[in-house]
Amino acid sequence: MDENEDLITIELIINISNHAQRMIESLPDAAREIFIYGDILYAYFQEHPDIDICGPPLDYEAYLAYVREIEFSYHDSDDIPYEIVERRKLVSYYVTQWDIYFTYYEEIHINESLSIDLDRFYQLEAFHMTQIYTYELINLPATLSKLLCKACQLRRLGNIPENIYMINCSGNVLYYLPQIYHTKLNALFCSANQLREIPKLPPTLECLYCYHNSLKRLPKLPAIMTDLSCASNGIRELPEIPEKMQNLYCAHNMLMRIPVLPKSLTNFFCQGNNIRKIENLPPFLKRFSCEGNPLIDYGIIPPSVNYLNLAGDVMSLMDD
């Protein structure tokens, strides 16, 4: 893209983001759910070129109807009308185009005025926003249980309410997370940020995905945790692995040793570290990858394993 195209595209991204902000501001205080998707909003404006992006905000119910219409067009069927097939292709093109814009211009400056304040939504239970440039998301209401703010270039996330159940803030520019120990959080997805540490985890947390950050260590893991993905960081040592852990992905770190692995573990990927020895692989392990380590001993491979990668050679051990 040349300089003029760059400026036009950046202006488009900012205009879409500003429009999303105005749509949220137009909603009633009693709203229980808010869903704003940048790619779908972009597709809407591309299909309705007569509507001014910089004009009054779209009617939210009309926008939701468009979202449902798009979702319906993707349902599998043997007798899909030709016009729906062609519509699907066109929308897919617009969605892909928006994805490319967001990837290519992920470093553009975001004005601090692109701030979303949810304080007045006193009944809000779910807030989903993706691919909308936003500087900060603040004043999350106490009623909020599900928060998805993925790929929005967020720099700041406000205090987390106690009743939160799920957070997905992956693909942003967050350097830290607010405290979450006081919450009822069950799943935390915070991958692909700039995080240097993870705050103390609540005892209710079962799933943590924090890969592609700048982490050096992890906090103590809750006893009920079943899924941990902390790949592609700079972690030197893992904390004690909970007895209920089923899936452990710690590839591409700086690990020199692995803690005792629980019997419940079924998937274990630790490739690309500095591990020399792995003792007592779990008896029900199904998938195991440890290539790219200076291993001298990995013990006995359990007969339950059906996927094995020891030195870059993937072996399928499944029965015929």
CA–CA separation, 6 and 184 (whole Å): 43
pLDDT in tens, 205-248: 999 999 999 999 999 999 999 999 999 999 999 999 999 999 99
What are the sequence ranges of the domains in the chain?
3-30+37-104
Do residues 271 and 283 touch, judged by C-beta distance below 8 A? Answer: no
Tokens of 203: 């005892």
pLDDT in tens, 160-196: 999 999 999 999 999 999 999 999 999 999 999 999 9
Does this model's pTM top 0.75? My answer is yes
CA–CA separation, 5 and 20 (whole Å): 23
At residue 242, what are phi and psi to the nearest 5 degrees? Answer: -60, 150
Tokens of 197: 């540490």
CA–CA separation, 203 and 185 (whole Å): 8
Q: How many CB atoms lie within 10 A of CB 44?
A: 22
CA–CA separation, 134 and 118 (whole Å): 13
Look at the block and give the residue holding tokens 């893991």. Answer: 221
Do residues 206 and 226 touch, judged by C-beta distance below 8 A? Answer: yes
Do residues 156 and 178 touch, judged by C-beta distance below 8 A? Answer: no
Sheet holding 247-249, edge to edge: 33-37, 126-130, 146-150, 166-168, 187-189, 207-209, 227-229, 247-249, 267-269, 287-289, 307-309, 314-316
Distances (CA, A) of 133 to 102, 155, 247: 9, 10, 33
pLDDT tens over the chain, length 320 residues:
555 566 668 888 889 999 999 999 999 999 999 999 999 999 999 999 999 999 999 999 999 998 888 776 555 555 666 666 777 788 889 989 999 888 776 666 666 668 999 999 999 999 999 999 999 999 999 999 999 999 999 999 999 999 999 999 999 999 999 999 999 999 999 999 999 999 999 999 999 999 999 999 999 999 999 999 999 999 999 999 999 999 999 999 999 999 999 999 999 999 999 999 998 899 999 999 999 999 888 888 999 999 999 875 555 554 43
Distances (CA, A) of 120 to 61, 76, 282: 20, 40, 50
